[in-house]
Amino acid sequence: MTKMMALKKDLEELRAKEPHMHAVVFTQHVAAHAAVVLMLKQMGIVTYELRSGVAAKHRHNAIKAFQAQEKQAKVMVSTLRVGNCGITLTAATRVILMEPFIDPAHELQAAGRIHRLGQSKEVLVKRFCFRNSFDEAVCDLHKKIKSGKTSVQNGALPADAVRALTRM
């Protein structure tokens, strides 16, 4: 199953349980962002976008509209660099990370846009990770970071971690 198929299935199931669901999808890749937006629009889900090149006023209006508690399913699709800090998206109850981010702190920052002061509902964070791929190598790196076997310092990985990732 591809990530897009998994995302579609997950959102269809969520919408069946919560017809007025609000979710946020984060990706690092512009092409993935565009593909997710297209799929969501084809599904008939109200879709908002946060990505580079969008004027601050448009971004503010998209956030405001997403946060409105209207009786419709809504999804905010954001690239990581644009949407992982400085915004509040507490209307959402689901965070989907389309791929693992090299630095797990970025994942926490992204999820923190939804799970923060003012959030009154339970939030589920889901991360898609392909087996036997670069994704899996990044997830393995996260395990090493969490266990203290390696660390990210000043935004940089140690050379052995970079070598492990580049072997994929």
Q: Lowest mean pLDDT of 5-9, 51-55, 81-85, name the range.
A: 81-85
Question: Cα–Cα distance between 29 and 128 in angstroms, integer?
Answer: 14
How far, CA to CA in Å, does 3 sit from each of 36, 88, 135, 151?
10, 26, 12, 28
Question: DSSP for the chain?
Answer: --HHHHHHHHHHHHHHH-TT-EEEEEES-HHHHHHHHHHHHHTT-EEEEE-TT--HHHHHHHHHHHHS--SS-EEEEEEHHHHSSS---TT-SEEEESS--SSHHHHHHHHTTTSSTT--S--EEEE---TTSHHHHHHHHHHHHHHTSS--BTTB--HHHHHHHHT-
Q: What is the mean pLDDT of residues 2-31?
A: 93
In this prediction, residue 162 carries a pLDDT of: 64
In this prediction, residue 61 carries a pLDDT of: 92
Amino acid identity at 61: N
In this prediction, residue 69 carries a pLDDT of: 81
Question: Cα–Cα distance between 56 and 141 in angstroms, integer?
Answer: 35
Q: Using a pLDDT cut of 70, give the percent of the chain over it.
A: 86
Per-residue model confidence as pLDDT tens digits over 60-116:
899 999 998 888 999 999 987 765 556 888 888 899 999 888 777 777 788 888 877
Q: Where in the chain is the domain with CATH 3.40.50.300?
A: 3-128
CATH 3.40.50.300 fits 3-128, yes or no: yes
Per-residue model confidence as pLDDT tens digits over 134-163:
777 777 777 777 777 777 777 676 676 666
Higher pLDDT: 120 or 9? It is 9
Amino acid identity at 10: D
Higher pLDDT: 163 or 11? It is 11
Q: Is the pTM of this model over 0.85?
A: no
